[in-house]
Structure 1
Amino acid sequence: MLPPYQFCRYEVEGPLLTLTLQRPEVLNALHPAAHAELADAFDRFNQDPSLRVAIITGSGDRAFCVGTDLKALAHTGDHRKPTTGFAGITHRFDLWKPLIAAVNGLCLGGGMEILAACDLAVAADHARFGLPEPRVGLAALGGGLLQRLPRQVGMKHAMELVLTAQPVDAARALEMGIINRVVPASAVLASARALAAQLLECAPLALQASKQVMLQSLREADLNATLHEDYPMAARMLASQDAVEGPRAFAEKRTPRWAGQ
């Protein structure tokens, strides 16, 4: 039974979850109740062994997410977010299943926080990306973006985005490495699903192990130390049925049947 969410839509199709921010009237800006729902949704995704990949997108064709709902904040003064951070994802460091952002429009402030917490991103050609916080006397604190962005796109690109507070279009975002692909607006979700299909051809534990090794190794400055780190998902992968199934299927010239265990 699917959860009765009000501010996001939770759609399951086989091993794929599509999670849609459902506040188009405020450009999918988020308030505490929306954060709580998304935190619960990501908990469900993380804990459900039948789900292997998730796409997160926004409803409507105007915005992916423009960050915090400032009108709601001004009315209530309520800044609360779950322990797992903005949209229930930015402070979540134990989710090794792949996340794909399907950026269907404006991606500003907290929307950029969500994007940076995803592993892959497809964007509509009319999407725009920006961090306007310094223009209102603030900084993009609290969601990890200022820490993630230099690691993901390099220091100079990160400094340009953060210090100018100027938005960039999808083509420039692609150049900077913020996103992986730019497609027509009508094709953004289909493109994200096609990317998800490629991931779903791979062994799920292999993807989770790969993600853990890449992200966890960023904590160490010394490359040699990263080679001797403990990566639990890698150990789980190597001991799995799928580690036997993959080579066997290759030798037998057939499509592997992944069990995820």
Structure 2
Amino acid sequence: MIDTAELQHILVAVDGPLLWVTINRPEVRNALHPPSHRELHRIFDAYAADRSLRVAILTGAGDRAFCAGSDIKVRAETNADDYPPTGYAGLTARFDLDKPVIAAVNGFALGGGAEIVLACDMAYAVDHAQFGFPEPRVGLAALGGGGLPRLARSLPTKFAMDLALTGRRVSAAEAKALGLINDHVPAAELHRKVREMAMIIVANAPLAVEASKAVIRECQTSPDLADAMARSYPAAVRMLESQDAIEGQKAFVERREPNWRAE
């Protein structure tokens, strides 16, 4: 695991098989700048490599903002983005991470913050959360963190165009209706709800969870359903050949809890 003494802008906490990652820049509404991007890059590298960690949960400090996007004052100095190779927040271009990442959206998620939400596998928000892509209002577009490509793949075209062209904010309720998040809850319930969902994932076989995420991600590049079903997925092959595949079925027949070994 990463040495927490090296972290200045991000907090991490290990909760059994869960890794809680908190953007800790509340003074700028948890906006990200180059040092915080690089800290997140190192944290998610460590998460990917640690087999004892099953689910990562990303949130923001305080109760106002999940992430307000890029720190525009810093970005304006160079008029250029400065991300690690894994993309915005060390996450948006991380296409080989098969372990789940859940967004716990504790406040508004704007610009890059909304792009992070799109890059996560699941997302839960507080009732007062707001989402939006306001980049056109400062002469930019939601490209740095893959916002527009992900919007095009996640939402019907007219809804994607609405968010991308107007730059308007949407409520947590509308975000759920659009499919941007899984659900929204009162603020006091967010931690419990996200942890509950994460532990449901943890109860499943690690290789099965990883294979499921990998297949969903990889089949999105298939031209049609027939091609997606005919393809071979390395993570799925690994799952099917694992001892856990045998153990899971054996435990079911014997009416006991399985002993997952991720092998």
1:103-142 superposed matches below 5 A: 103-142=105-144
Match of 2:242 among 236, 240, 243: 240
Structure 1 residue runs of 4 or more that deviate by more than 4 Å after TM superposition: 75-78
Aligned residue identity for 1:256: P
Structure 2: which amino acid aligns with 1:162?
A: A
Checking the alignment, whether the CA contact within 8 Å between 2:30 and 2:61 is kept in structure 1 is: yes
The aligned residue for residue 22 of structure 1 is 24
Counterpart for residue 256 of structure 1: 258
Separation in 1, partners of 2:178, 2:75: 32
Matches within 5 A, 1:78-157: 79-157=81-159
SS in 1 for 2:21: strand
The aligned residue for residue 210 of structure 2 is 208
For 2:108 and 2:179, how far apart are their aligned partners in 1?
17
SS in structure 2 at match of 1:254: coil
8 Å contact 2:2–2:46 — kept in the other structure? no
Deviations 1:32-61 (A, max 9, x none): 000000000000000111111110000100
| CA 1:79–1:150: 2 relative to 1, 3 Å | closer
What letter matches 2:74 in structure 1? A
RMSD of aligned residue pairs (Cα, Å): 1.3
Higher mean C-alpha deviation, range 30-39 or range 154-163: 154-163
Deviation readout 1:16-44 (Å, 9 max, x if unpaired): 11111111111110000000000000000
Structure 2 residue identity aligned to 1:3: D
Aligned 1:122-201 pairs, distance under 5 A: 122-201=124-203
1:230 offset after TM fit, Å? Answer: 2.5
Q: Deviations over 1:171-213 (max 9, x none)?
A: 1111111000110011112211111011111111111101111
Q: Is the 8 A contact 1:32 1:78 kept in 2?
A: no
What is the letter of the counterpart of residue 3 of structure 2?
A: P
- TM-score, with length taken from structure 2: 0.96
User: Aligned equivalents of 2:21 and 2:80: distance in 1?
Assistant: 24
Matched positions, count: 261
| TM-score (normalizing by structure 1) | 0.96
